[in-house]
A and B are shown apart, each in its own frame.
Chain A
């Protein structure tokens, strides 16, 4: 744990002064987990609202603006409604797996969030294989989707789940390979180290052409991995009703729903960290104010989140075979060539450094 903000330092010292070492460590972990749960739910609720307002803006509407100032409490009201709803289920569903599925999705999203470097100090879990950890964790979510679709005793859900399996397995390759391209230039898998490297210029600038290609591939594949339009064949509303979560209601549905938004946030956050310098300010303009790191990180992330929302509200949906064609016939070969190109650039020292 590299939390060294003074307030967290004080809490740390206080905890260790009143408890034995082991208990204090566990207490500290629980506290951090609670903080992240808070961030998680606030981010989820906020993103749902942002999505609805952005969609409204694209669609000549106003969007939710009644509950609280400019509708800021709208999703809170929706969440309260979802909490109070009855949890329905289908007959002859596999009850155990059916109930387990939402937690797979939500926990994988939460775990991925723990390694995100919000700023230099605000970074709960800075492991030396950060990028690998992110890729690994984000693929656990698909197990939840598969379980949910399979166990809910509904053919539409089953088709949605199978599509999800196909889609995630394919696009994981592109997500991983495009990140590996950037690891070549940063020279480390540790997210804090990747950010430090970018003090001489964001990696998308340092790696110029291959980095831009990698960024585009990452955004396409990342959008696909979060099952968002134009790759939302998993829950294609006009084809499958609601896809894999057709039979879920109340909070269990809300978990799937929230996880989608958190995953979108995570994909955008990874892109901001790996390509756009994470919490570093552009040209070091606020280097003397390190606490602004969170601001820069969130700003970059939300610009990318907006980009993903832009995709969603303007593009039609791909068909399942076109989706696979795009990955296996276009993105993957381009990606492999791109890795070699990046390796050459790093080897021949053709990177742009400021």
Chain B
């Protein structure tokens, strides 16, 4: 509606701030996030995220379910890193029980985890381009993600909500084609990242749209609890894979991608760099998957000893923590997920104020929100 201004002689030329609802149904919020924007013309004065449109009480449901069932639920949080979410719950259970899983399981978990990260970043890259108005990126990103999804489908039967991990190992052994197809993908994708750079990264419009937009300082990144690529773009070294290696990540060498700009372009470059690093991790592991069992047997009803357990992993979006308080029964007494998306979203108001609507869309794209991860 044209703003409700009652014109008088004095204020007929005065500008007025107004509210606008971005979402819950809006192309740039990538789901059902509602942003209440206070805008002066094109300039953003305030961003208030309104959450809860896809809240499913996953944490409460966990108090009812067995540990095997909880793994299921984590697929539905950050659905783009479902494998890594599953792994977090499995690791916390295995650590609590003192289970030593076979080396084979660790290596396969890491390979699939890194492939998941690449798939997630492919989707992010495509959608980021689309948010900035370059539609072609979407299809290029999905082309490569599709190859990874096909590999997953062959191995575990699912493409998105994989549920491949179980406490004690993997649901099934890998498919005989797995190694070959992954190698083929790695060779293919190495030629495609330069294509991504050619299409978008070097583009003058893209550079202008992202450079110096939404600057997050290192101090702010730490105090807002940001993690993952968002924090690393501000120069905060926080890669869980580096500092608390889990599964087979202590056997591989990789460099943490760090930038100091803290702006949208830095967050973009960090993710592109991470794709290269993930490729190198996959390459290091794919040739020597140890022989052995894909699973150690556990009791049909897993009961964790009473106590508190915590495990964190690095998903495609940042640090996912699983905090379990067990009272010794088949279900946790309380289970809390520390999701990366929630903390990363909290920086939005801080870095978007003063920029234009177009900038807000670019900032949101590089924060890489997955709404079910925020709401749980």
Is there an interface contact between A316 and B136, defined as CB atoms closer than 8 Å?
Answer: no
Residues of chain B with a CB closer than 8 A to A154's CB? 1
CA distance A317 to B361 in the complex (A): 12
Contact with B along A216-248 (1 / 0, CB 8 A): 000000000000011011001111110000000
Shortest CB distance B40–A (Å): 12
The residue of chain B having its C-beta at the shortest distance from the C-beta of A154 within the complex is: B1
Q: Does A159 contact B (CB under 8 A)?
A: yes
CA distance A313 to B1 in the complex (A): 33
Q: With A58-B136, A153-B1, A159-B42 given, is the CB distance from A316 to B359 under 8 Å? A: no
Is there an interface contact between B136 and A230, defined as CB atoms closer than 8 Å?
Answer: no
Residues of chain B with a CB closer than 8 A to A60's CB? 139-140, 143
Which of B87-95, B156-164, B198-206, B275-283 lies on the face that meets chain A? B198-206
Shortest CB distance B44–A (Å): 12
Contact of B133 among A159, A229, A322 (CB under 8 A): A229
Contact with B along A41-59 (1 / 0, CB 8 A): 0000000000000010011
Shortest CB distance A301–B (Å): 24
Residues of chain A with a CB closer than 8 A to B27's CB? 237-238, 241
Is there an interface contact between A314 and B136, defined as CB atoms closer than 8 Å?
Answer: yes
Contact with B along A99-131 (1 / 0, CB 8 A): 000000000000000000000000000000000
Contact of A315 among B130, B133, B139, B361 (CB under 8 A): B133
Residues of chain A with a CB closer than 8 A to B200's CB? 316
Q: Does A274 contact B (CB under 8 A)?
A: no
Decide if the interface of chain B is mainly helix, strand, loop or mixed: helix
Q: With A150-B2, A155-B1, A315-B203 given, is the CB distance from A238 to B133 under 8 Å? A: yes
Residues of chain A with a CB closer than 8 A to B2's CB? 150, 153, 158
Q: Does B129 contact A (CB under 8 A)?
A: yes
Is there an interface contact between A316 and B361, defined as CB atoms closer than 8 Å?
Answer: no
Residues of chain B with a CB closer than 8 A to A233's CB? 358
Q: Does A320 contact B (CB under 8 A)?
A: yes
Q: With A233-B358, A238-B131, A320-B42 given, is the CB distance from A313 to B205 under 8 Å? A: no
The residue of chain B having its C-beta at the shortest distance from the C-beta of A313 within the complex is: B136
Q: With A59-B139, A158-B2, A239-B361 given, is the CB distance from A316 to B209 under 8 Å? A: yes
CA distance A261 to B2 in the complex (A): 29
CA distance A267 to B129 in the complex (A): 27
- Which chain B residues in 77-120 approach chain A with CB under 8 Å? none
Is there an interface contact between A155 and B130, defined as CB atoms closer than 8 Å?
Answer: no
Shortest CB distance B335–A (Å): 36
Is there an interface contact between B1 and A317, defined as CB atoms closer than 8 Å?
Answer: no
Q: Does A156 contact B (CB under 8 A)?
A: yes
Q: Does A66 contact B (CB under 8 A)?
A: no
Shortest CB distance B133–A (Å): 3
Shortest CB distance A332–B (Å): 19
- Which chain B residues in 127-149 approach chain A with CB under 8 Å? 129-136, 138-140, 143
How many chain-B residues does the 8 Å CB contact rule pick out?
Answer: 32
Residues of chain B with a CB closer than 8 A to A236's CB? 133, 358
Is there an interface contact between B205 and A230, defined as CB atoms closer than 8 Å?
Answer: yes
Q: Does A321 contact B (CB under 8 A)?
A: yes
CA distance A108 to B135 in the complex (A): 29
Is there an interface contact between A322 and B208, defined as CB atoms closer than 8 Å?
Answer: yes
> How many pairs, one residue from A and one from B, have CB atoms within 8 Å of each other in the complex?
88
Residues of chain A with a CB closer than 8 A to B130's CB? 238
The residue of chain A having its C-beta at the shortest distance from the C-beta of B210 within the complex is: A316
Residues of chain A with a CB closer than 8 A to B42's CB? 159, 320-321
Q: Does B46 contact A (CB under 8 A)?
A: no
CA distance A238 to B129 in the complex (A): 10
Is there an interface contact between B135 and A232, defined as CB atoms closer than 8 Å?
Answer: no
Q: Does B20 contact A (CB under 8 A)?
A: yes
The residue of chain B having its C-beta at the shortest distance from the C-beta of A321 within the complex is: B356
CA distance A200 to B190 in the complex (A): 52
Q: Does A329 contact B (CB under 8 A)?
A: no
Residues of chain B with a CB closer than 8 A to A299's CB? none
Is there an interface contact between B1 and A316, defined as CB atoms closer than 8 Å?
Answer: no
Is there an interface contact between A61 and B18, defined as CB atoms closer than 8 Å?
Answer: no
Residues of chain B with a CB closer than 8 A to A61's CB? 139
Is there an interface contact between B140 and A159, defined as CB atoms closer than 8 Å?
Answer: no
Is there an interface contact between B139 and A238, defined as CB atoms closer than 8 Å?
Answer: no
Q: Does B179 contact A (CB under 8 A)?
A: no
The residue of chain B having its C-beta at the shortest distance from the C-beta of A314 within the complex is: B136
CA distance A236 to B143 in the complex (A): 25
The residue of chain B having its C-beta at the shortest distance from the C-beta of A150 within the complex is: B2
Shortest CB distance A150–B (Å): 6
Shortest CB distance B247–A (Å): 34
Residues of chain A with a CB closer than 8 A to B64's CB? none
Q: Does A85 contact B (CB under 8 A)?
A: no
Q: Does A319 contact B (CB under 8 A)?
A: yes
Shortest CB distance B289–A (Å): 32
The residue of chain A having its C-beta at the shortest distance from the C-beta of B26 within the complex is: A241
Q: Does A76 contact B (CB under 8 A)?
A: no
Q: Does B151 contact A (CB under 8 A)?
A: no
Is there an interface contact between A238 and B206, defined as CB atoms closer than 8 Å?
Answer: no
Residues of chain A with a CB closer than 8 A to B361's CB? 238-239
Shortest CB distance B204–A (Å): 9
CA distance A313 to B133 in the complex (A): 9
Q: With A319-B358, A320-B356 given, is the CB distance from A59 to B136 under 8 Å? A: yes
Shortest CB distance B49–A (Å): 17
Sample of 26 A–B contacts (CB below 8 Å): A61-B139, A92-B1, A229-B133, A230-B133, A232-B133, A236-B133, A236-B358, A238-B28, A238-B132, A239-B357, A239-B361, A241-B27, A313-B136, A314-B199, A316-B132, A316-B134, A316-B203, A316-B205, A317-B358, A318-B205, A318-B208, A318-B209, A319-B209, A320-B42, A320-B356, A320-B358
Q: Which 4 A-B pairs have the closest CB atoms?
A: A317-B133, A59-B139, A316-B132, A319-B358
Residues of A within 8 A of B (CB): 55, 58-61, 92, 150, 153-156, 158-159, 229-230, 232-233, 236-241, 313-322
Known A316-B132, A319-B356; further 7 A-B contacts with Cβ < 8 A: A230-B133, A239-B28, A240-B357, A314-B136, A318-B205, A320-B42, A320-B356
